[in-house]
Amino acid sequence: MTTIQAIESLGELRLAISQRYLAVQLESERIEQEWAGLGKAGGQREDHAASLLARLTPVISDLSEYAHRVEKQIDAWNADPFGEST
């Protein structure tokens, strides 16, 4: 992809980031609901909280890894905007 193609496909970038962000939101909401349920059952403990929070790791990692790949590509374009070095 060239830099011009990247500019013209920024909508795809926004969509990809939005989808990953939505996954974080949805998992966070599920965790909050489960935590509230544990509270009603008297089961809110540190180990339960840690276990619930661990479920965020994969979705946050996916968002982070995607952002890192995009960042590396942008850095490469800045270093060689005309794609002359290979």
**pLDDT (tens digit per residue) in 34-46:** 999 999 999 899 9
CB 8 within 8 A of CB 51: no
pLDDT of res. 86: 59
The answer, yes or no, to whether residue 23 has pLDDT greater than 70, is yes
Which pTM was predicted?
0.85
With 0-12 CB in 10 A as exposed, 13-18 as middle and 19+ as buried, what is 71? exposed
In the block, which residue shows the tokens 């965790």?
31
